[in-house]
Amino acid sequence: MIYKNVYHLFYQYNPEGVEWSPSIVWAHSSSTDLVNWTPHDDALYSSEHFDINGCWSGSTTILPGGKPAIFYTGFSSDNEQVQNLAFPKNLSDPFLREWVKIPQNPLMMPTQANQIITDSFRDPTTAWLGLDNRWRVVIGSRTNKTGLAILYTSDDFLNWTMANHPFHSAEENGMWECPDFFPVSKSSQIGIDTSTNGPNVKHVLKVSLFDKGKEYYTIGTYNLDKDIYVPDEGSVESESGLRFDYGKFYASKSFFDSAKNRRILWGWVNESSTAQDDFKKGWSGLQTFPRTILLDKSGKQLVQWPIEELEKLRAEHVKMPSTEIIGGALHEVLGVTTAQADVVVTFEISHLEKTEVLDPSWTNPQILCSEKNATVSGSLGPFGLLVLASAELQEYTAVFYRIFRSHNNDKYVVLMCSDQSRSSLNENNDMTTYGAFVNVDPVHEKLSLRSLIDHSIVESFSGEGKTCITARVYPTLAVNADTHLHVFNYGRESVKVTGSAWSMKTANINRSGQKEIKRIEDIVS
């Protein structure tokens, strides 16, 4: 959230170890630019009967007048998941370093009357205010294998009543965690406040599927009369549905940045290393780069893009002039620090008549990327980037495209892959290859690819943000100065590429002390 021009990130943290435990707390950092972050004491930690076994996920809401509030799930002394409310102790403190849990907690809890499963009732969304001046919030839940978004309403933000119908549900989904519900504008390229509604607004419901470890979002309509969410036709929470990110990405949350009128999305990047290696590192898990999120001009999906503030970290710049790369060739990009880099390339194809036909059985892009990895030559592809590569290419992560022609017409299908099968010589790592189809037309559009590279993480954006894949890799050879970056084309047909690459400076993350806080206080005042 943003409060008095200071951004706040609250995140799940275990102060006692590198794996999940009941001692989970709400850790807290703040920033004035969403890039450099100052740590604070934990905002919420177990202290009361309603959260003695952990302070779990939730959301912030900015009330009228600017007062922030935290709704969070507590794991109670009765081993029940309940919803609790906390307010800042001192509203004049721009860092909101102390929070007070209200004595009325818990405000929402499972009872026999509401038939909620006690261990499947968590992660309240940001609340929104309806046209009737009633507050609404959604909680994730389930009934058997049906995923549920449960709606609660309130007149005063303290007394909450469960609706007599689900806000939305889907069969065979299992538990819905970390729901996120927000509006997007159909007519403007800006983000809008969570309570906004009207004829130029669509709504998005994102859910995290606990059983599958994946997230899906749908675009649809919020029916004000019935207080339900109705996805558009074809918008589903399943393997054929839409995802923010097709790689290591889960438990995401968005917020409205009122300072710049944009909606910003964060995601949790979970680990690819083993629990034993996590213990050796002393930490596990991190947040993605923050991304802006908008409705695509088609109205059928969202687009994401790294926030503009990240460009302040750009340093040495190398421009890649227009070059035709023949089949089987790769070109090394020199002059940038490739362990920390921002790379933007555009591919142009002029030989589409030789495109191979997409087999009708190739419906799962992740499996297709695994079978046709970066070493398998096709007609048009694979072509893209080899990042975090060792000198002799024993290690690399390949982010690339393939183009197919549909078997029943002359339309083209673009496949994006993030091949981690050779990302590390440590065979204990998870080296799953990820993939997704990209909604672009190579006949009329160039294929763009942007990758943000940061030592062990690669966040890639294709089609100007239509498809995103986050890779989590731990190279053993391609480390620091021993890292290389290549543009490659292992397909049979040549492709033309242009682009730019920048070295990226190191952000200041959770390392500043009181001097930094005093500096920010001076700026704010």
pLDDT digits (tens, 9 = 90+) for 203-227: 999 999 999 999 999 999 999 999 9
Are 2-306 and 314-504 equal in CATH topology? no
User: What tokens were used for 11?
Assistant: 């995140």
What confidence score (pLDDT) does residue 518 get? 57
Distance CA 415, CA 449 (A): 12
Q: Is the pLDDT of residue 514 over 60?
A: no
How is the beta sheet containing 68-75 ordered, strand by strand? Answer: 55-62, 68-75, 81-88, 99-101
Distance CA 343, CA 97 (A): 37
Give 3-state DSSP helix, strand, coil % of the chain, rounded to 5.
5, 45, 50
Query: What does the chain come to in residues?
Result: 525
**Weakest-pLDDT range from 345-354, 449-458, 474-483, 487-496:** 345-354
What confidence score (pLDDT) does residue 408 get? 80
- Give this prediction's pTM: 0.95
- pLDDT confidence tier of residue 524, bands split at 50, 70 and 90: low
Mean pLDDT (whole number) for 417-421: 97
> What residues are paired with 58 via a beta bridge?
72
What confidence score (pLDDT) does residue 410 get? 80
What confidence score (pLDDT) does residue 525 get? 55
Superfamily the domain 314-504 falls into? Exo-inulinase; domain 1 (2.60.120.560)
Q: Do residues 384 and 491 touch, judged by C-beta distance below 8 A?
A: no
Q: Is the pLDDT of residue 136 over 90?
A: yes
Percent of the chain with pLDDT over 70: 97
Q: Is the pLDDT of residue 237 over 90?
A: yes
Q: Write the DSSP string, 115-130.
A: T--TTSEE-PPPPEE-
Residue 501: which of 321, 307, 328 has the closest Cα?
A: 321
What confidence score (pLDDT) does residue 521 get? 57
What confidence score (pLDDT) does residue 512 get? 54
Q: What residue type is 278 in one-letter code?
A: D
Q: Is the pLDDT of residue 520 over 80?
A: no
- Hey, what CATH topology would domain 2-306 get? Tachylectin-2; Chain A (2.115.10)
- Backbone dihedral region of 393: left (phi > 0), alpha (psi from -120 to 50 degrees) or beta? left
What confidence score (pLDDT) does residue 398 get? 98
Q: How many CB atoms lie within 10 A of CB 117?
A: 15
- Backbone dihedral region of 77: left (phi > 0), alpha (psi from -120 to 50 degrees) or beta? alpha
Q: What is the 3-state secondary structure (H, E, C) of 316-369?
A: EEEEEEEEEECCCEEEECCCCCCCEEEEEEEEECCCHHHCCECCCCCCCHHHHH
Q: Do residues 482 and 310 touch, judged by C-beta distance below 8 A?
A: no
Domain ranges within the chain, ordered by starting residue: 2-306, 314-504
Q: Is the pLDDT of residue 174 over 90?
A: yes
